[in-house]
Structure 1
Amino acid sequence: MRLFVEGRTNWKTKLQAQVSVHDKVIWFHAASLGEYEQAVPVIDALKQTHPDYKIAVSFFSPSGYEVKKKDSKLDIATYLPLDTQKNAREFLDILKPEVAFFIKYEIWPNLMEVLSNRRIKSYLISGLFRPEQLYFRPMGKFMTEALSRFDHLFVQNEESLNLLKKHGFDQASISGDTRYDRVTAQLGMDNQLSFMEYFTASGELTVVFGSTWPEDLSIALDAINKAPEGIRIVIAPHQINATQIQKLKKNIRKNLICYSEMQSQDLQDYEVLIVDTIGLLTKIYSYANIAYVGGGMGSSGLHNILEPAAFGVPILIGKHYEKFPEAKMLRRLGGVFSVASKNEFDEVFNKLITDQTLREKSGQICGHFVNSEAGATQKIMSTISF
């Protein structure tokens, strides 16, 4: 909350310092880090086709802004001020974008009204809609109106498109999810991490627990402690909280080390590595034989399963995944395994450790699925104009 408030203090002055009167600006708005990653493929494509434009990205959440404010892809990075008519007018007076892109769920009524009044084109990328959302309910007229102001709505799936059409939104099409393009591109990058090379060198299998919350680890700790020799385990909590890290260290009965403690240590002496930093998880997944992706055991929401899936890794998740189409599809196909309890986790975890055929088959399903779903960026780029 402190960063949320402080980040918006003097936002006009901070934004003015990044924009000059002659700049031509393409603006993206993302709620947080995950939505920013969905924007990246389109950002990269527009940098190729419009090299003389500046790329501006605004964030609602500190978890996005604080991580990406110095990203080399961005010419302008800012917090989005709270959605009032006055803030919307002043924000656009300073930024003066020629086009605006919003990611997934980020739809702000006052901002959309001012954009529309100024005839600035706006697009929604990777939209995902469900009948219970406010747009489709009687009390949500103000949100329905905001949605109608977009020049085009690029949605992830047929269910979203049909729902929009049913409610009179004709400016929509299925592009798919740009995250598939993002994670597919990751395969062509340098994913090597020297500390992971050392840590996994003497192990038989590597299991990565990514973006975990305490609720996730509560069902996994027993299996972690009982894991056979030769299993290397990486735990990357979603929140780097010193108290939670200490609690986790006390509950693990294996030889462990934290990323922050690695200097001058021989990583091959350890069985568990706790990654108490951010920005490394995607590359860490490239070393995994099995992955558990957190968020599905609590109320925070399932985190990104496409990152390990792109590397052909079989995936375990918690019980809450209904709002995530990729998780539902991969579970049906057999690449993802959902568990609802400690006993279920133990059973699936042990199967994946001991059954190489199952492990490899499930991983192949994940990799093939991600590859088959790529292509959203191309569809978006062929439709937009400004």
Structure 2
Amino acid sequence: MLLLYNLAIQLYGLIVNIFSLFNNKAKFFVQGRKNIFENIQKKIDPTKSNIWFHFASLGEFEQGRPLLEKIRNQYPEKRIVITFFSPSGYEIRKDYALADGVFYLPLDTASNAKKLIAAINPEIAVFTKYEYWYHYFETLHKSGIPLYIISGIFRPDQIFFKWYGSFNRKILSFVNYFFVQNEESKQLLSQINIKNVSISGDTRFDRVAENAKSPKEFELISKFCNNKSTLIAGSTWPADERLLALLINKRPDWKFIIAPHEIDKAHIDEIVRLVPTAIRYSELSAQSSETQVLIIDNIGILSSVYQYGEIAYIGGGFGVGIHNTLEAAAFGMPVIFGPKYDKFQEAKDLISIGAASSISTAEELLSAFEKFTENKTAGETAKNYVNTKTGSTDQIIKHIAQNF
């Protein structure tokens, strides 16, 4: 099985290299890993130990960020190294001030794992939510370096729990401790004889609650909203935007802010075709208050933009799954999203308490929108839900600090 895994990693690398000839994400993926070990050697002293945080992408970074920042605050002498798998994480956070180095994660080969771990010399390694790499985990295990999974979440349909998943179960066996989000995850791990587990919840709650207390302010966006009721649509995809365009036409009395997940020119142009009167954030001025729709055509401000809305629509529910609902909920906003939310416990919870709705059609979107315009308590219910789920970071740091 290991042979097949190694072949799959090599094949993946080959495919990404081919795609890099015409795909920007793949191009960043490949170029960012060129001379990676030389770049690490220039920035990181291998004679000094580091705390290694790995994140798949930007979402996982925000999820693990509360723990990283608490370690930095409580143990300022500790050195922190961050790796990302995806360009969408690295390219935005490559200059993150609290890290001593931020790099792409080289592909998971035996030689890369040994070279990387020797280069950054981690005293502990922290992986957030998922990404289970055989060679990196095995090398950490053989080196006696504690490996933690934080905000982990498991489902019965995952390969770890199938009769043919012995290889994947072996990867999990290299982890020293799992901090999982719910009881189901703990029970599933117990079924495969993994007992080094505790339920700590999701560190995202700590992050979004903290962000909602002191968000960055945007004067031009505030003037755009002009004290009118506003729907914020975050991390949207074309399927989401087509439905939103219909809602926009039906509710000219509301303002709408659309922050698409992808901000390439072709996508932004497509949104403008759907909503010809929309203005781009890059073109926003103090005189734009009469415009109904604003398109956020940059990355990194959405988590604070939510402060200007009354209702949130979260994209991704017509694709592989919805994006972050908690950022909006933390600001006291009821949330609406598409049908694919089953992998997200917080989405299920928000629906069960009346603070969220899942929709599949334009008619259902309008119905959910009208429900939340009438229900003035749903937003407060969402905010209270977030605030009662905080505290995961403190629980985790208390455990892992025993290794410092």
Q: For this structure pair, what is the TM-score category when the shorter chain's length is used for normalisation?
A: over 0.9
Aligned residue type for 1:240: I
**Which of 292, 296, 299 is 1:271 aligned to?**
292
Aligned residue type for 2:272: K
Aligned residue type for 2:193: G
1:257 counterpart = 2:279? yes
Residues in 2 aligned to 1:200 and 1:208: alpha-carbon distance in whole angstroms: 11
- Residue 346 of structure 1 is matched in structure 2 by 366
State the shift of 1:27 in Å.
0.5
Secondary structure, in 3 states, of the residue corresponding to 2:269?
helix
- Residue 247 of structure 1 is matched in structure 2 by 270
Work out whether residues 28 and 57 of structure 1, in 8 Å CA contact, stay in contact via their aligned partners in 2.
yes
1:293 counterpart = 2:314? yes
- Superposed, 1:229-240 pairs within 5 Å as 229=253, 231-240=254-263
Q: Deviations over 1:163-195 (max 9, x none)?
A: 111110010110000000001111222432111
**Which of 391, 395, 398 is 1:375 aligned to?**
391
Q: Deviations over 1:309-368 (max 9, x none)?
A: 001101101011000000001101100111011111122223333x1xx0x211011000
Secondary structure, in 3 states, of the residue corresponding to 1:53?
coil
State the shift of 1:252 in Å.
1.2
Q: Deviations over 1:1-23 (max 9, x none)?
A: 11111111111011111102443
State the shift of 1:144 in Å.
0.7
Secondary structure, in 3 states, of the residue corresponding to 1:26?
strand
CA RMSD, 1 decimal: 1.2
**Which of 108, 120, 128 is 2:145 aligned to?**
120
Aligned residue type for 1:341: T
Secondary structure, in 3 states, of the residue corresponding to 1:17?
helix
Secondary structure, in 3 states, of the residue corresponding to 1:113?
helix
- Residue 204 of structure 1 is matched in structure 2 by 228
Q: Deviations over 1:243-290 (max 9, x none)?
A: 12112112215x321011125x51212111111001110110011101
- Superposed, 1:164-175 pairs within 5 Å as 164-175=189-200
Residues in 1 aligned to 2:312 and 2:389: alpha-carbon distance in whole angstroms: 21
Residues in 2 aligned to 1:135 and 1:62: alpha-carbon distance in whole angstroms: 27
- Superposed, 1:36-47 pairs within 5 Å as 36-47=61-72
Residues in 2 aligned to 1:333 and 1:190: alpha-carbon distance in whole angstroms: 26
- Superposed, 1:295-310 pairs within 5 Å as 295-299=316-320, 301-310=321-330
Residues in 2 aligned to 1:45 and 1:345: alpha-carbon distance in whole angstroms: 40
Secondary structure, in 3 states, of the residue corresponding to 1:187?
helix
**Which of 339, 363, 371 is 1:319 aligned to?**
339
Secondary structure, in 3 states, of the residue corresponding to 2:399?
coil
Work out whether residues 23 and 53 of structure 1, in 8 Å CA contact, stay in contact via their aligned partners in 2.
no
1:132 counterpart = 2:147? no
The runs of 4+ residues in structure 1 deviating greater than 2 Å are 21-24, 350-353
Residues in 1 aligned to 2:170 and 2:47: alpha-carbon distance in whole angstroms: 33
- TM-score under structure 1 length normalisation: 0.95
State the shift of 1:381 in Å.
1.3
- Residue 91 of structure 1 is matched in structure 2 by 116
Secondary structure, in 3 states, of the residue corresponding to 1:81?
coil
Secondary structure, in 3 states, of the residue corresponding to 1:44?
helix
State the shift of 1:149 in Å.
1.2
Secondary structure, in 3 states, of the residue corresponding to 1:235?
strand
**Which of 244, 248, 252 is 1:228 aligned to?**
252
Aligned residue type for 1:310: A
State the shift of 1:29 in Å.
0.5
Residues in 1 aligned to 2:163 and 2:111: alpha-carbon distance in whole angstroms: 27
Residues in 2 aligned to 1:282 and 1:311: alpha-carbon distance in whole angstroms: 10
Residues in 1 aligned to 2:90 and 2:305: alpha-carbon distance in whole angstroms: 23
- Superposed, 1:54-73 pairs within 5 Å as 54-73=79-98
Unaligned runs of 5+ in 1: none
Residues in 1 aligned to 2:357 and 2:215: alpha-carbon distance in whole angstroms: 29
- TM-score under structure 2 length normalisation: 0.91
1:35 counterpart = 2:60? yes
Residues in 2 aligned to 1:245 and 1:48: alpha-carbon distance in whole angstroms: 39
1:180 counterpart = 2:196? no
Work out whether residues 220 and 346 of structure 1, in 8 Å CA contact, stay in contact via their aligned partners in 2.
no
- Residue 153 of structure 1 is matched in structure 2 by 178
- Residue 381 of structure 2 is matched in structure 1 by 365
1:332 counterpart = 2:352? yes
Unaligned runs of 5+ in 2: 1-25
Work out whether residues 215 and 307 of structure 2, in 8 Å CA contact, stay in contact via their aligned partners in 1.
no
Residues in 1 aligned to 2:53 and 2:124: alpha-carbon distance in whole angstroms: 9
For structure 1, which segment, 216-225 or 29-38, has the greater mean C-alpha deviation from structure 2 after superposition?
216-225
Residues in 1 aligned to 2:319 and 2:212: alpha-carbon distance in whole angstroms: 30
Aligned residue type for 1:133: Q
Q: Sort the Cα spacing of 1:173 and 1:337 in 2 relative to 1 into closer, same or farther, 3 A.
A: same
